[in-house]
Amino acid sequence: MVTTLPLVGRVKGVLEETHPAIRSCPMQFSITNSATRYGWAMIILHWLIGIMFIGQFVLGFMMVRIQSQRTAFELIQLHKSLGFLLLGLVILRIGWRLGNAAPHLPPSVGALERRTAPLAHLALYAFQTALPLSGWALVSVSTLEIPTMPFNLFVMPDLPLAESDAAESFWAATHWYLAYAGIALVALHAAAALRHHFLLRDSVLARMITPSSGRE
């Protein structure tokens, strides 16, 4: 086994010379961020959380307006399950972000945006954490006492908060306001990304799509 390894290396080296495309094979994408590019872990977490966040907004909007009480109940349980999955992904993302600095902004980014973009990103992190937490608080204080079972897999304990109608109204309103403010921030974030791509024609959006090859 050991003796065959140098042979594999030699074959790969020869192939890379004759077939340059092999160099950019996805296997070589970096999991971590580099100074100028995002690694694939951050890219996957970004899009997964982004799509789930928007999906949760749409689901939350629909589930409280639907006629069928049965469908409403089931959609609310799905919203809770997805919310806990989202919270798990957000915690993973924050951990990953703390151990893996974001790439530098390209030189095309102006001074004002250089100061405000990190604040906007911090706010996005705050909303994606606060939204599932406020939802968890809401189900914890609800006088309906409906158990929470993410994807019917296990019982998620309630947060240690006192249950009352007043607390339920408070957390429902908080969750609602956070959702609308959060989705407005997501829209601003998306508009900024499109501006970078189509007006400024820089790499800001592109680097959140194609991962770092680890060579930049």
Partner 1 sequence: MHARILGFAAFAACLAVPATAAVALSDAAGSYTISPARSSIRFTIGKAGGGGFDGAFARFKGTIRIDNGDVGRSKVDLTIYPESVGTGQGRIDAFLRSDAVFDAANSPEIQFHSTSVIRTGDTSALVTGRLTARGKTFPEKFTAELDGLKAGTIKFHVTGKVLRSRYGMDVGTPLYSNVVDFNMTLTGKRG
Residues of this chain that bind partner 1 (CB under 8 A): 68-70, 73-74, 77, 143-147, 149, 152, 155, 157
Whether 210 contacts 24, CB under 8 Å = no
CB nearer to partner 1: pick between 95 and 147: 147
Question: Of 145, 138, 146, 147, whose CA–CA distance to 166 is shortest?
Answer: 138
Question: Of 93, 36, 14, whose CA–CA distance to 214 is shortest?
Answer: 36
CB nearer to partner 1: pick between 64 and 126: 64
Alpha carbon distance 122, 125 (integer Å): 5
Please state the closest distance from residue 63 (CB atom) to partner 1, in A.
13
CB nearer to partner 1: pick between 118 and 157: 157
CB nearer to partner 1: pick between 158 and 202: 158
Please state the closest distance from residue 73 (CB atom) to partner 1, in A.
6
Alpha carbon distance 183, 57 (integer Å): 7
Alpha carbon distance 73, 26 (integer Å): 42
Please state the closest distance from residue 87 (CB atom) to partner 1, in A.
19
Alpha carbon distance 197, 206 (integer Å): 7
CB nearer to partner 1: pick between 3 and 152: 152
Which residue reads 């970004």 in tokens?
46
